[in-house]
Amino acid sequence: MRVAILLRQVPHRRRRMPEEVAFFVAKNVRSNVRELEGALRKILAYSRFN
């Protein structure tokens, strides 16, 4: 379920993310959906700057 949430949010931000990254984030962020989306935002921002 967490992976589906992440993969659904990525195209809205006009970015791409490998499924392996989505699985890693979903496995390590276990608290709630807000934390999951916050982690996604951080990852996408970091990838944009580097």
Rounded distance, CA 33 to CA 14, Å?
Answer: 20
- In this structure, the number of other CB atoms found within 10 A of the CB of residue 2 comes to 15
Is a pLDDT exceeding 80 seen at residue 41? yes
Rounded distance, CA 21 to CA 7, Å?
Answer: 10
Amino acid present at 18: P
- Categorize the per-residue pLDDT at 42 as very low, low, confident or very high, splitting at 50, 70 and 90: very high
* Domain boundaries, given as residue ranges, for the chain: 2-49
- pLDDT tens-digit readout, 1-28: 888 888 888 877 777 888 898 899 999 9
Position 20 scores a pLDDT of 92
Rounded distance, CA 34 to CA 40, Å?
Answer: 10
pTM, two decimals, is 0.75
